[in-house]
Structure 1
Amino acid sequence: MAARHRDVLPGAGRLHRHGRPPGLRDYRRRGRVRLRGATQADCPVWMPFPRAVAAGPYRQVLGEGCVYPAAVPTLGNQLSAAGRSWAAYLQDMGNDPARDHTVATARGPACGHPATWVGDHTQKAEKGDQYAARHDGFTFFRSVTANQAFCAAHIVSFRPLPADLAQARTTPAFSFLAPNLCNDGHDAPCVTGAPGGLAQADAFLAQWAPKIMAAPAYRDGVLIVVTFDDGGDAAACCGETSGLSPAYPDVPEPGKTGPGGGRIGAVLLSPLIRPGTVSTVPYNHYSLLRTIEDIFGLPHLGDAAMPRVRSFGPGVSG
Structure 2
Amino acid sequence: MMLENRSFDQVLGNSAAPYLTQLANSNVTLTQSYGLVHPSDPNYLAVAGGSTFGRTDNPYPALTGAVTGPHLGNLVEQAGKSWRGYVEDMKSPCNLSSNGNYDADNVPFVYFKDVTGDAARCQDKLQPITRLWSDLQSTATTPEFVWFEPNSCNTMHNCSVTTGDTWMQTNLPKLFASPAWTQQRSLLVITFDEDDDNHGQRIPTLVAGSPGLTRTGYRSGTQYNHYNILRTVEDGLRLPGRLTQNDQYATPLNDIWN
- TM-score normalized by structure 2? 0.72
Change (3 A) 1:89 1:44: closer
Structure 1 match to 2:115: 144
Paired residue type of 1:79: V
**CA–CA distance in 2 between the matches of 1:200 and 1:206?**
10
**C-alpha displacement at 1:230, in angstroms?**
1.1
Change (3 A) 1:306 1:77: closer
Change (3 A) 1:172 1:92: same
Structure 1 match to 2:205: 266
Structure 2 match to 1:317: 257
Indicate conservation of the 8 Å contact 1:227/1:264, yes or no. Answer: yes
Q: Answer 1 or 2: higher relative contact order, Cα 8 Å, separation at least 6.
A: 2
Indicate conservation of the 8 Å contact 1:74/1:143, yes or no. Answer: no
Change (3 A) 1:235 1:111: same
SS in 1 for 2:121: helix
SS in 1 for 2:130: coil
Structure 1 match to 2:191: 227
Indicate conservation of the 8 Å contact 1:93/1:131, yes or no. Answer: yes
Indicate conservation of the 8 Å contact 1:235/1:263, yes or no. Answer: yes
**C-alpha displacement at 1:162, in angstroms?**
1.8
Change (3 A) 1:304 1:221: same
Indicate conservation of the 8 Å contact 1:110/1:152, yes or no. Answer: yes
Runs of 5+ in structure 1 lacking a partner?
1-38, 49-65, 95-108, 115-121, 188-195, 237-261
**C-alpha displacement at 1:208, in angstroms?**
1.5
**C-alpha displacement at 1:111, in angstroms?**
1.2
**CA–CA distance in 1 between the matches of 2:77 and 2:198?**
33
Indicate conservation of the 8 Å contact 1:286/1:303, yes or no. Answer: no
Structure 2 match to 1:251: none
- 1:55-134 to 2 correspondences below 5 Å: 67-69=66-68, 72-94=69-91, 109-113=92-96, 122=98, 126=100, 130-134=101-105
Structure 1 match to 2:171: 208
**C-alpha displacement at 1:304, in angstroms?**
3.3
**CA–CA distance in 2 between the matches of 1:215 and 1:161?**
11
Paired residue type of 2:256: V
**CA–CA distance in 2 between the matches of 1:45 and 1:177?**
20
Structure 2 match to 1:286: 227
Deviations 1:59-117 (A, max 9, x none): xxxxxxx8312xx11111111122101110110012xxxxxxxxxxxxxx111225xxx
Deviations 1:12-44 (A, max 9, x none): xxxxxxxxxxxxxxxxxxxxxxxxxxx544225
Deviations 1:126-146 (A, max 9, x none): 2xxx21012110011102111
Paired residue type of 1:88: G
> Which structure has the larger Rg over C-alpha atoms?
1
**CA–CA distance in 1 between the matches of 2:120 and 2:202?**
37
Residue 276 (str. 1) matches residue 217 (str. 2): yes
Runs of 5+ in structure 2 lacking a partner?
1-54
| Counterpart selection for 2:242 from 281, 300, 308 | 300
Indicate conservation of the 8 Å contact 1:88/1:176, yes or no. Answer: yes
Deviations 1:249-270 (A, max 9, x none): xxxxxxxxxxxxx221211111
Change (3 A) 1:225 1:168: same
Paired residue type of 1:76: G
Structure 2 match to 1:25: none
**RMSD over aligned Cα, in angstroms?**
2.1
Indicate conservation of the 8 Å contact 1:289/1:304, yes or no. Answer: no
Residue 42 (str. 1) matches residue 25 (str. 2): no
**CA–CA distance in 1 between the matches of 2:174 and 2:60?**
34
**C-alpha displacement at 1:47, in angstroms?**
4.0
**C-alpha displacement at 1:274, in angstroms?**
2.6
Indicate conservation of the 8 Å contact 1:164/1:171, yes or no. Answer: yes
By percentage of residues, which structure has more helix?
A: 2
**CA–CA distance in 1 between the matches of 2:189 and 2:222?**
16
**CA–CA distance in 1 between the matches of 2:251 and 2:161?**
29
Change (3 A) 1:80 1:218: same
